[in-house]
Amino acid sequence: MRNSIPNGKTVTPSGQNKRQHAAVKQNRKYENTFHTKPLCVCGQFCSDNEDLFGDYDSILEDSSLLAKLDDAEQKERQRDVQPSGHTDFTGLRPTKDVKQNKSCTDDVLTDSILDDLADEPFDDLPASLLQFQEQVKESVKRSRPQDGGKTSTPFKNSDRITEDKPRRKSRRSVADQLKKTMLCNAAAPSSVSRTVGLKEAVVSEEISVAMQAMETVSADTTDLGPFFGLPTKVKDLMFKLRGIKTLYDWQTTCLNLDCVQQRTNLIYSLPTSGGKTLVAEILILRELLCRKKDCLFILPYISLVQEKVRGLASFGLELDFMVEEYAGSKGKFPPTKRRNKTSLYVATIEKAHSLVNSLIESSRIGNLGLVVVDELHMLGDGSRGAIIEMTLAKVLYMSKSTQIIGMSATLGNINDLQTFLRAENYTNDFRPVQLKEYVKLNDTIYEVDPKEENCFRFSRPLNFKYSSAMQKMDPDHIIALVTEVIPAHSCLVFCPTKKNCENVAGMICTYLREEFLQRRQEEKSLLLRELRDSGNGSLCPVLRRTVPYGLAYHHSGLTSEERKLVERRTPTGCSVCSPAPPPWVILRSPYLAADFLKRSQYKQMVGRAGRAGIDTVGESILILQEKDRNMAQTLVCAPMENCFSKLMLDDGKGLLSLILSLIGLNVNLQEFLCGTLLFVQQEQLCVRRSLWEEVQTCVDLLKEKNLISVSADAQTLQVTRLGKATYKGSVDLTYSDILYKDLSKGLEGLLLNSYLHLVYLVTPYDMISQCKPDWMTYFRQFTRLSASEQKISAAVGVPESFVARKAAGQTVKKTVNMEVVSRMYLALVLLSLLKETNLWSVSERFQLSRGFIQTLLSSSSAFCSCVLHFTEELEELWPFRALLMELTRRLSYCVRAELIPLMEVVGVMESRAKQLYNAGYKTLTHLANADPAVLCRSIENLSKKQANQIVASAKMLLNEKASALQEEVDDLLMLPADLPQAPNSQHLS
């Protein structure tokens, strides 16, 4: 971005560093240089003869620098003219040797001046920079030819004196050049303070030194910068924002691996809580700051994406890069193209795939320098695993310069993943806290020991006096196990179902002593108050009973705000299925719902035991029944499960989607598929038919669905309009034709005097099976609809007579599509939310859990965004575009309109948005300019850390919006590259 100057000239913003630009020019052989503009264009604001600095020649209030330059240059000129102490005016013509060294003489003038200056130490430089300057000098010294300590300089001899005569033109002194540059910089308009500018200059200088070090240090030196190739400021920020002083040994080893330094792909595996994410973040920062490339961080859940965006926003502000959220309905395709900043895209699995597609289509995939995938083992997890495979395979095929880093728990067939990703593997069993695993059978505790024949070694009996009533209530002795730990330490209990979570929490409270109520009452009162505020005055009855004892439950039936409060605020005690790390973890059963636990699930659960820096050991206990003993031995002692491609899952649904998008992106199918995990594992997965037979079957099916067609010359495949809309909208192939029919039918009688019709059209098809209508509730809500809304319901296939008969328990003879009926029921839930925005009252009215309703709302906003992109590719559906854009916004937040700008900030929920609004923070600009200290005092129960994160997130979002607008302005004002030129005169008639 350029700033306008009154005289019509332009300069780049003064916050950029000219020394960094010079360092880049010296490192052109590096495969990806900085693409920055010079700091200023000299000669535009001052003449050569005018010295506006006078006796005060430094903006740093140090008048010695230019004087040093003048003295050093004067010495050099004297040494050049009188090398032997006398002058001989007879030898005016340069000799042959001197002629040959003419250019070298010019160069050595500047070098020797800098050598003189080097004798005077710059005390104000950071220690890390001085250290690396010395390192670079030593490296260069070693690389020069050893010739008796002499360097390669122009030949000088007292008998053959030469003079510059005509060869030396009027040369501006170094001091004059520096003055002129400083004056130009001072003339450039800047809104950045001097202190901020100096800080930016130091960071830029350290990045420059790190880049030079990457070119000059010896091969046996692995540390390429003050902090793993990054400026010292990053290390300071790690301590300031995260409290991290030093890295674990394995992290240092991993960051210094040859494959990391050479930017080849890497998979690294460690147990839960081993510190995997920090390594990925350091590599991301190095890519953003040093290589000036964008990065993509893929996380499995929306909550994790939001947490990561919130946590990295402060880094982005301090280090000048963008952090962009791609989750739910958030994210722009293709992303905003930035000229002066790099971007970190933090995305869910589904959004990451759409993002990569858009980058390929816009020919910008080369700008993506690094892709990091958390929980890489999810490659083997259902339909989401298929999407991860598609995303990574596309990056591998389309961009040879993009590095892929995968983090994972240990996998049984890591070699398959290495082959697929063409990656190195680093594995370590490090845990910051030692983990001891136990199982409980009857009244006995056994320690897990793979060396034992049956994997279990006797540890101790369980001693606890149970009454007969208590034995009946708690046959698994959960209370006995829990009370061994609490209240001195906390404990986490995993239960197989959501209902069991609530029941176990209530049961434990029944048998706890009264003294538990007296402990940490202030913290517990605060948690209850916050929970009540988050529910607009409503409070979960189970939590109302358990929290006073120091207990809480945690599952998807709670709202996301309730879950965050439980995670953050639960006092020391027993947390049933909360993800906060305690020293003890108890697994109520080896089942998850009706399914026996997988090895990976078990390891993730027990891996939560023990808090780094607090506990010396973590312990887990798995409660077993005798019937599960043999299966449990396999569970706790067997190697990790293998990870297999899921492209063939559900009759090849993933492969169908992949082939459709590849045809749409004009990618060669055979070449591409040879680079997939499915190709690596085809012998195990393609049993009935070969891979290429499966591909042909998929192509035929896509033709039948009218998603692809054969070109006129019968040589190539091409996507139809519906096919393009399907893959660009990320719409499930199962529903694309149904969606098109629903939208087309909707155009015939679209009613806009209510949200109901639009809401029905964007209610997710895959949510239908998760909810069975309560017919009395259905009929009651139906009768509350207006006449036009009832007309909409009848138009889509749900007449009032049908609902009335079902509510009365009568048999319905007329055939009705039950999927349409269930979808309309969910649409009524969403309509109620949009009308009153009170999740608790809607939950009570429809007898659905708050968590389910919130999931429905989130899924609907995401699907609404998909439908919007779907309609953008189909001209006949144009009326939906503006309508769905606003509906996406309403569904994303579902609050009063004035709160939406505040809730766009990551981490601000409805209750917090109300607090901020009532305190006078009514816009994004208000929040971005807020003082965190004042914010803490103004907002009840807001910690300093939360206030800092809110302000940082608001600033990042404001910067992102402003940057997008500026890029749009620049594009509008840019001279078109294809602007028609005036025709040549000879062609004129």
Q: What is the DSSP string of 581-623?
A: --SEEEES-SEETTEEPPHHHHHHHHTT-S-TTT-SEEEEEEE
Higher pLDDT, 736 or 409: 736
Which tens digit of pLDDT belongs to each residue from 583-623? 889 999 999 988 999 888 898 889 888 877 777 889 999 99
Helix (H, G, I), strand (E, B) or coil at 139: helix
Domain 434-637 in CATH 3.40.720.10: no
CB 313 within 8 A of CB 956: yes
In one letter, which amino acid is 247?
L
User: Which residues in 405-417 are b (16+ Cβ under 10 Å) and which e?
Assistant: bbbbbbbebbebb
The two structure tokens encoding residue 326: 């791609």
Sign of the dihedral through C-alpha 819, 825, 828, 830: negative
In one letter, which amino acid is 940?
E
Helix (H, G, I), strand (E, B) or coil at 101: coil
The two structure tokens encoding residue 859: 């899924």
CB 826 within 8 A of CB 767: yes
Query: What is the pLDDT, as a whole number, of residue 150?
Result: 37
Query: What is the pLDDT, as a whole number, of residue 877?
Result: 94
Give the number of C-alpha atoms closer than 13 A to the C-alpha of residue 99, restricted to the C-beta side: 5
Q: What whole-number distance in Å separates Cα of residue 398 and Cα of residue 661?
A: 13
Q: What whole-number distance in Å separates Cα of residue 426 and Cα of residue 250?
A: 10
pLDDT band at 638 (very low <50, low <70, confident <90, very high): confident
Which backbone phi and psi does 17 adopt, to 5 degrees?
A: -115, 125
Query: What is the pLDDT, as a whole number, of residue 60?
Result: 38
H, E, C per residue of 785-852: CCHHHHHHHHHHCCCHHHHHHHHCCCCCCCCCCHHHHHHHHHHHHHHHHHHHCCHHHHHHHHCCCHHH
Residue 242 has a CB neighbour count (10 Å cut-off) of 13
Q: Are strands 574-576 and 343-347 parallel, antiparallel or unpaired?
A: unpaired
In one letter, which amino acid is 116?
D
With 80 as the cut, is the pLDDT of residue 93 above it?
no
In one letter, which amino acid is 428?
N
Query: What is the pLDDT, as a whole number, of residue 94?
Result: 41
Q: Are strands 10-11 and 294-298 parallel, antiparallel or unpaired?
A: unpaired
- CATH 3.40.50.300 range(s) for the chain read 232-411, 434-637
List the one residue out of 863, 906, 894 whose CA is nearest residue 325: 906
Query: What is the pLDDT, as a whole number, of residue 197?
Result: 59
Q: What whole-number distance in Å separates Cα of residue 227 and Cα of residue 238?
A: 11
Higher pLDDT, 102 or 472: 472
- Those residues with Cβ within 8 angstroms of residue 659's Cβ, 6 or more apart along the chain or in another chain: 669, 695, 698, 699, 702
Mean pLDDT of 37-49: 35
pLDDT band at 450 (very low <50, low <70, confident <90, very high): confident
H, E, C per residue of 508-521: HHHCCCCHHHHCCH
Which tens digit of pLDDT belongs to each residue from 498-534? 999 999 999 999 888 888 888 888 889 989 998 998 8
Q: What whole-number distance in Å separates Cα of residue 534 and Cα of residue 514?
A: 28
In one letter, which amino acid is 621?
I
Helix axes 787-796, 800-807, angle to 10 degrees: 90
Query: What is the pLDDT, as a whole number, of residue 106?
Result: 42
In one letter, which amino acid is 44?
Q
Return the top range by mean pLDDT from 58-72, 404-418, 564-578.
404-418
Which tens digit of pLDDT belongs to each residue from 335-377? 988 888 899 999 999 999 999 999 999 999 999 999 999 999 9
Which tens digit of pLDDT belongs to each residue from 866-917? 999 999 999 999 999 989 999 999 999 888 889 989 999 988 888 899 999 9
Continuous H helices in 290-348: 302-319
Q: What whole-number distance in Å separates Cα of residue 862 and Cα of residue 888?
A: 8
pLDDT band at 784 (very low <50, low <70, confident <90, very high): very high
Sign of the dihedral through C-alpha 287, 288, 289, 293: positive
Query: What is the pLDDT, as a whole number, of residue 893?
Result: 87
Query: Is the omega angle on the peptide bond into residue 579 within 30 degrees of 0, that is, cis?
Result: no
Mean pLDDT of 289-304: 94
Query: What is the pLDDT, as a whole number, of residue 871?
Result: 95
Higher pLDDT, 985 or 365: 365
Which tens digit of pLDDT belongs to each residue from 711-729? 877 778 999 999 999 999 9
Q: Are strands 265-269 and 423-427 parallel, antiparallel or unpaired?
A: parallel
Query: What is the pLDDT, as a whole number, of residue 176?
Result: 62
pLDDT band at 210 (very low <50, low <70, confident <90, very high): low
Query: What is the pLDDT, as a whole number, of residue 220?
Result: 36
CB 577 within 8 A of CB 587: no
Which tens digit of pLDDT belongs to each residue from 122-148? 444 445 445 555 655 555 555 444 444
CB 798 within 8 A of CB 822: no
Question: CA-CA distances (angstroms) from residue 274 to 181, 279, 583?
Answer: 50, 11, 15
Beta strands in 351-455 (DSSP E): 368-373, 403-408, 423-427, 434-441, 444-448
With 80 as the cut, is the pLDDT of residue 76 above it?
no
The two structure tokens encoding residue 662: 């590849």
Q: Are strands 584-587 and 617-624 parallel, antiparallel or unpaired?
A: parallel
CB 231 within 8 A of CB 210: yes
pLDDT band at 69 (very low <50, low <70, confident <90, very high): low
With 70 as the cut, is the pLDDT of residue 431 above it?
yes
Could you say which of 1.25.40.10, 2.60.120.620, 3.50.50.60, 3.40.50.300 is the CATH number of the domain covering 232-411?
3.40.50.300
Mean pLDDT score across all residues of the chain? 80
Which tens digit of pLDDT belongs to each residue from 810-864? 888 778 899 999 999 999 999 999 988 889 999 999 999 999 999 999 999 999 9
Higher pLDDT, 693 or 124: 693
Q: What whole-number distance in Å separates Cα of residue 555 and Cα of residue 742?
A: 35
pLDDT band at 942 (very low <50, low <70, confident <90, very high): confident
